[in-house]
Structure 1
């Protein structure tokens, strides 16, 4: 149990620090690498410390106050140099997260060694060290990481000087902690060590919050002219977005929840990259940052397509409205330059409260029929949101031969028959419609009277799309029009081939 405590308590505090980094610039794989580096550093430092003690090259006191602080802090911080040079470490908060992870990796193995060497007091020792020494190890490297991240836009000489200065500070902190621990005992030692350990966590939280506040202002300055007001609010306040997503998860679905979170995170990272580019005077650094920015913007483009219009409408409906003047400007511009797209957005806003389960059912039914099953998922969502639901009873005529119709129908529940009335007033059934089948498409497109009658064989539920809404969708999304043309063309080819076969059969019989 003592071994587990020596590992789990430090990992809990690392998880806490990672959660505080709300812009999620710190990557999980790099956090894992940082923990691994901390473990490796302990192994090297432990072997070196034992060697110089065995060779009488230093005293225990000299090791504790001089050699160990210099060696351990220098080795722990070495990975931060690599991360900074490779631009994996982008700003102060992710530098803090990576630095804390290195210190925690070091501390976990150190805890295990102390527990193994002191089995009689293992549980108490694991608890005490996890809440004191472990946190100080994380704190010192986190300070170096914070300063390294904040120094990214500066010239190389300035970055090196700031890094060395931060390293000197944490070496002094480390040595001071060792001095205090060495010269105290009993309850006084316990309380002081715990106070320094937990106090270091409080300082990390304060510094992290201050850093994130500065980054939030930078994101606003860099993206205010790029994003809409609602997107900007979301990007600066990912915690608020997370709360909204938790409240509306059932309405928008698990997949879209992850897409929105990823989108907000990438926008924040985009703002941080733009800030670093604007501040940097190093041409090589700017070139590398521009490549990262381009990659981030490409990922955002892919996400926008994956999210679809429904998600944008949801975001617009739930984000704060105090900056809605920019939305109004966007509406006016859309109405002027792309009126059909503006109309589509307005139509979707009326339907935004369609539950996620209902939306998924509509999509599934639309996929059953030939007319729309080739549409991309985001286009299918936009179509599904425009549908209204109508109920018909057995024997009802949905379309009557000789009458015009301005509606397209899709069968959601039930069966219908299609019949033709000939000159002798004889009714001939020619086909039937079931789940997902669409009808009324020819009437809605050419505005001519229907040549058939469609009657309910049983109680029926239909999805209905009006001509105006269909035309709006086709103008706003030409790919939907192309897909419908493809299906109707195939239908015409089939009809032509059937007619030719009938003619050949008739001539052969004659």
Structure 2
């Protein structure tokens, strides 16, 4: 495309052709620039959209947007540092360009991206695997965005193709690597035994190997569909890690969130079924009291869940200073929950509790109905009827000569 533009612009400036040729050059140049702008837009917006979608998996909403912005910025910094490391390795003759792409770059880049995660996972406001996966994904996306810019501007003649190919492959590989490392760092925080260390080492090794495999395949001229498949597998791994983390968090909430935190059993039960919260709890509240109250109820219940998660984290935090920080956060959450309860009001809270109590009553009513349906009239239902019949049958057989 560059050659085409240059050829047109170098035509002899004949007077009667001048106006037409200038217009033609301008039109071609305008189209060329538009393609680059579109490519840059794709390279910037689509990765952020992926991060936004991954955040949707965080049903307890423990991951903070502000922290994700920090991880994005760190991803950019990690890229700039990685460029220096990779360039130095080639300039000093430590490795060839091919070796850097296939081995050194994946190791250096995953280590650099994870530095922010090592810091975040030590903080009292960090929760568990879900936070680690989302923050790690953010660091990878930040790294990928600035790398996209370099590739698009360095290959302007195929800028659009580069942008589309990268956002669905390389970008997701970067996000997967740091997301998995964030996951294992979070797991290690909760398990300080040798198993936790082993899990951490495996996570780093797997992320680097996954990255190496992708780079080797691309460097060898692999098909684009294979590169995209790598990205899809990466997203699947992050999704699985978050789902496992959510399952554990629900167990923690059910175990640690008690009436001492002014959380009734029905509220705790609702939070252990967080997927049903919009349909089972918020919909009736919105219908009866409006959307503002429903949003406030949701916010209150999510804060309750975070309180239960942090109480569980106290069990795996031996450092007294860190324990005190977590305890202070729990106290702040309790104050927030109390304030929100007052804003919600007693009548709305009664509805919230009644919804789940009614569900329990319906379940037991259904069980009772099934028992009564199978019964022949004896109190206790069909189970006892059948037991009595078997005893009678056994006695009759014994009495036979």
Structure 2 length as normaliser, TM-score?
A: 0.74
The reply on whether 1:235 has 2:284 as its aligned counterpart is no
Distance 1:119 1:250 in 2: 54
1:156-179 deviation digits (Å, cap 9, x = unpaired):
987666544422321122112111
Farther-moved stretch of structure 1 (32-41 vs 43-52): 43-52
Cα separation, partners in 2 of 1:151 and 1:10, compared to 1, 3 Å = same
Q: For residues 211-243 of structure 1, what are the alpha-carbon distances to aligned partners after superposition, in whole Å with 9 as ceiling and x for unaligned?
A: 211221221122256532321132223332223
2 CA distance for matches of 1:248 and 1:157?
Answer: 47
CA drift at 1:195? 0.6
Displacement after TM superposition at 1:55 (Å): 4.3
Note the C-alpha offset of 1:317. Answer: 4.1
Correspondence for 1:201 among 227, 235, 245: 235
Q: Which residue of 1 aligns with 2:351?
A: 314
Q: Which runs of 5+ in 1 are unaligned?
A: 326-510
- Taking a change above 3 Å as real, the CA distance of residues 267 and 324 of structure 1, as seen in their structure-2 partners, is farther
Give 2:9's aligned residue: none
Q: CA distance change for structure 1 residues 204 and 320 in 2, over 3 Å: closer, same or farther?
A: farther
- Contact kept in structure 1, 2:129 and 2:241, CA below 8 Å: no
Pick one of 100, 123, 142 that aligns with 2:160: 123
Judge conservation of contact 2:133–2:241 (CA < 8 Å) in 1.
Answer: no
Q: Are the equivalent residues in 2 in contact too, given 1:101–1:138 (CA < 8 A)?
A: yes
Q: For the residues of structure 2 that align with 1:320 and 1:59, how far apart are their CA atoms?
A: 67
Looking at structure 2, the residues matched to 80 and 264 of structure 1 have their Cα atoms a distance apart, in angstroms, of 27
Shift of 1:135: 0.4
Question: Could you give the per-residue CA deviations for residues 257-282 of structure 1, whole angstroms, max 9, x where no partner exists?
Answer: 23112111111111111111234444
Contact 1:154 1:281 (8 Å CA) reproduced: no
The structure with higher relative contact order (CA 8 Å, sep 6+) is: 2
Does 1:170 pair with 2:204?
Answer: no
Give the number of aligned pairs: 322
Report the CA distance between 1:320 and its aligned residue: 5.8
Q: Which runs of structure 2 are paired with 1:257-268 in the superposition (5 Å)?
A: 257-268=294-305
Q: Are 2:179 and 1:142 equivalent residues in the alignment?
A: yes
Larger fraction in strand: 1
Q: 2:255 aligns with which of 213, 221, 229?
A: 221
Q: Which residue in the other structure is 2:389 paired with?
A: none
Name the SS for the 1:152 alignment partner. helix
Can you give the 5+ residue segments of structure 2 that lack an aligned partner in the other structure? 1-37, 363-401
Q: Which has a greater percent of helix?
A: 2
Following superposition of structure 1 onto structure 2, how do residues 289-368 of structure 1 map, counting pairs within 5 Å? 289-319=326-356, 321-323=358-360
In structure 1, the partner of 2:383 is none
* Maintained 8 Å contact 1:147/1:162: yes
1:182 and 2:182 matched: no
Q: Is the 8 A contact 2:72 2:139 kept in 1?
A: yes
Report what 2:314 is aligned to.
277
Q: 1:106 is matched with which residue?
A: 143
Q: Could you say which residue in structure 2 is the equivalent of 1:418? A: none
Per-residue CA distance 1:448-470 (angstroms, 9 max, x = gap):
xxxxxxxxxxxxxxxxxxxxxxx
How many Å apart are 1:154 and its aligned residue? 3.3
**1-structure distance, mates of 2:125, 2:96:** 39
Residues 125 and 246 from structure 1, CA distance in 2 versus in 1: closer, same or farther, beyond 3 angstroms? farther
Aligned residues of 2:47 and 2:145 also touching (Cα < 8 A): yes
The 8 Å contact of residues 155 and 281 in structure 1, kept in 2 or not, is answered as no
Instruction: Report the alpha carbon displacement of residue 99 of structure 1 after superposing the two structures with TM.
Output: 0.4
1:13/1:246 Cα in 2 relative to 1: closer, same or farther (>3 Å)?
Answer: farther
The residue aligned with 1:499 is none
Q: Deviations over 1:120-157 (max 9, x none)?
A: 22112111110111001111111111111122233398
The Cα offsets for residues 298-322 of structure 1, whole Å up to 9 and x where unpaired, read as 2212222222112202313434623
Q: 8 Å contact 2:125–2:329 — kept in the other structure?
A: no
Asked whether the 8 Å contact 2:132–2:182 carries over to 1, the reply is yes
Counterpart check, 1:16 vs 2:50:
no
CA separation of 1:277/1:324 partners in 2, compared to 1, >3 Å: closer, same or farther?
farther
CA distance in 1, matches of 2:305, 2:152: 43
Q: Secondary structure at 2:189's aligned position in 1?
A: coil
